[in-house]
Amino acid sequence: MVLVSQEAPKFSLEAFLPSNEFGKISLDDYIGEKWVLLFFYPFDFTFVCPSEIIAFSNYIEEFEKRDVQILGCSVDSKFAHRVWTRMTPQEGGIGNIKFPLLADVSKTCAESYNVLHKEGMALRGTFLIDKSGLLQASSTYNSSIGRSIEETLRMIDACQHYEKYGEVCPANWKKGKKAMKPSPQGISEYLTNGKENH
C-alpha cells in the first residue's frame, strides 16, 4: 500500500499523447524535473470521467505554472483513449486533451496505488508526487463523485509552500494566505491573530 511521504510506485505505461501519437510514459521521465499529478478514473466512455478530464485539461496552464505534469490513467487501452479523444463532448467523447492518458491494461499500476476496484476498474484516486519521487498527497473517491480541480490546485500550492518555506498550511488555507510555523508558538500566533489579518 502506497503511503504519503514514501516513494511513489514506479510505472512505465503505453499512452495516448496530446500530439495525437502513441508513446510510453514512465514516472522516471519526470523525477528531478517536474511534480506529477497522477489521477486514475474508472473507464473511457463513461459519465463523470469526461467532466473531470476536460476540467483538468481546461486548467492545464495553472498546473504548468506550478511545474506539475498531469497524467490521467485508466485500465482502457491506448487505442480506446485515441477513439475517445476523437469524439466531441456532444458525441460522448472528450475531444483534444492537453495531457497524456495512460493505458493501464494490465491493471498493475492501479493495483500498486491501491485503487483497483474488485470490478476491475480504477477508483478515482489522485496522487501528487514531488520532483524527488515522494508521494506528497493522495485522495480516493468512489466512481460516482467527481473531483474538484480547485481543491487539487490548493493541495499542490500547500505542498509546494511547505517545501519552499517550511511553513504548514492550516484549514482552508489558500495561496497568498498566511501559513504557520510548525511549532507551539506558530500555532498560537496564527490562532490569535493570523486568521483575523488574512
Q: Which residues are catalytic, by number? A: 49
Q: Which residues of 25-61 are buried (b: 16+ CB within 10 A; e: fewer)?
A: bebeebbeebbbbbbbbbbbeeebbbebbeebbebee
Q: For the residues of 18-79, what is the DSSP string, one character each?
A: TTS-EEEEEGGGTTTT-EEEEEE-S-TT-SHHHHHHHHHHHTHHHHHHTTEEEEEEESS-HH
Query: Residue 19 is placed in which grid cell?
Result: 500530439
Q: Which residues contact 14 (CB under 8 A, 6 or more apart)?
A: 22, 23, 24, 77, 78, 102, 103, 105
The size of the chain, in residues, is 198
d(CA 83, CA 44): 10
Query: Residue 163 is placed in which grid cell?
Result: 517545501
Containing 151, the helix (H) or strand (E) segment is helix 149-165
